[in-house]
Amino acid sequence: MILKMDRLLHKLPEPKNPSPNDAAAVQELMGGKFGEMSTLMNYTFQSFNFRGRERLRPFYDVIASIAGEEYGHIELVSYAINMLLTGSTKRGHDPEPGPLKNVVDARNVHHFIASGQQSLPMDSMGHWWTGQNVFSSGNLKLDLLHNFFLECGARGNKMRVYEMVTDPTARELVGYLLVRGGLHVVAYARALEHLTGVNVTKLVPVPELSNKAFPEARKLEESGQHLKLYTFSPNDYRRAGEIWNGFHPEDGQPLEVVFGAPEGVPVPDLHEEPQLNSPGAEDFDMGMFQDVAKKMGIKP
């Protein structure tokens, strides 16, 4: 089961300007082949499908813990896209002046036609994410090799998106994902080492550029965010520490398992976009909920 919290994993700064094209590039980190939807669904299916978990429990615990974190990553990418899209069009109810005319040349007009100026489960070219991106062979060595490759591929794409976007919201997002995805690269390398004895961490980093070259990532690594594997569970997955231990291969600092989830930050409020009828419901009577809340003693 999953336990949900109305919190975001990391604080994103407000965008300097609306940037529909930065948002379109960031979509690759959502619904691209190597995006967060792919990491989430790969580890989710592999953990659901895991056979022989009593014998191989620590491997199961690592994959399941990382699957939990990836849910928070798609959520964070979604908010970054939403924040970058906010303000791209002129707000108002009157269609006649063409309030969406600014975005007819945007890279991804699905943001304005198929959604209310919001993130979508697609890549930077507007291709919908597909379950064909999920690899769950049932063979532990093969699945871990795939996961190591997937995280390295994701790392490469994150770096290129960083080099493409200039908005601070987008760059902070990518910096954070580089740090946490970098940790997942090392986790799958360590898992393969425990399983096979092969020194996979010698391959790290792939691509060769260090996270420390990116100012937003460097700042987070200085506070140790590349060292802590969270279980995203109050009581379970406690044997992840039998794999996540020792020292970070790049800077030699000690690795640590944290039971539970990071505290997170409040979820940003997304304002209404009346020109897109989003969310609409203009005649909804707010007083009705206020009366119900009062009767039930629910605090806002």
The DSSP code for 100 is T
Segment 155 to 184, residues that bind Mn ion, using CB under 5 A: 181
Nearer to Mn ion, 73 or 226 (CB): 73
Contact pick of 28, 43, 46, 73 for Mn ion (by CB under 5 A): 73
What's the angle, vertex CA 208, arms to CA 207 and CA 213, rounded to 5? 105
Q: Tell me the closest approach of the beta carbon of residue 166 to Mn ion, in angstroms.
A: 23
| One character per residue 180-209, x = contact with Mn ion (rule: CB under 5 A) | -x----------------------------
Nearest CA to 120 out of 189, 48, 28 is that of 28
230 — phi, psi (to 5°)? -90, 145
**Dihedral of CA 170/174/175/180: which sign?**
positive
Q: Tell me the closest approach of the beta carbon of residue 183 to Mn ion, in angstroms.
A: 9
Q: Is 17 exposed, middle or buried (0-12, 13-18, 19+ CB in 10 A)?
A: exposed
C-beta nearest to Mn ion: residue:
73
Structure tokens at 95: 């269609």
Nearer to Mn ion, 22 or 36 (CB): 36
Q: Tell me the closest approach of the beta carbon of residue 225 to Mn ion, in angstroms.
A: 13
Omega into 205 within 30° of 0, i.e. cis?
A: yes
* Size of residue set near Mn ion by CB under 5 A: 5
Nearer to Mn ion, 179 or 243 (CB): 179
Segment 4 to 43, residues that bind Mn ion, using CB under 5 A: 36, 39
Residues that bind Mn ion (CB under 5 A): 36, 39, 70, 73, 181
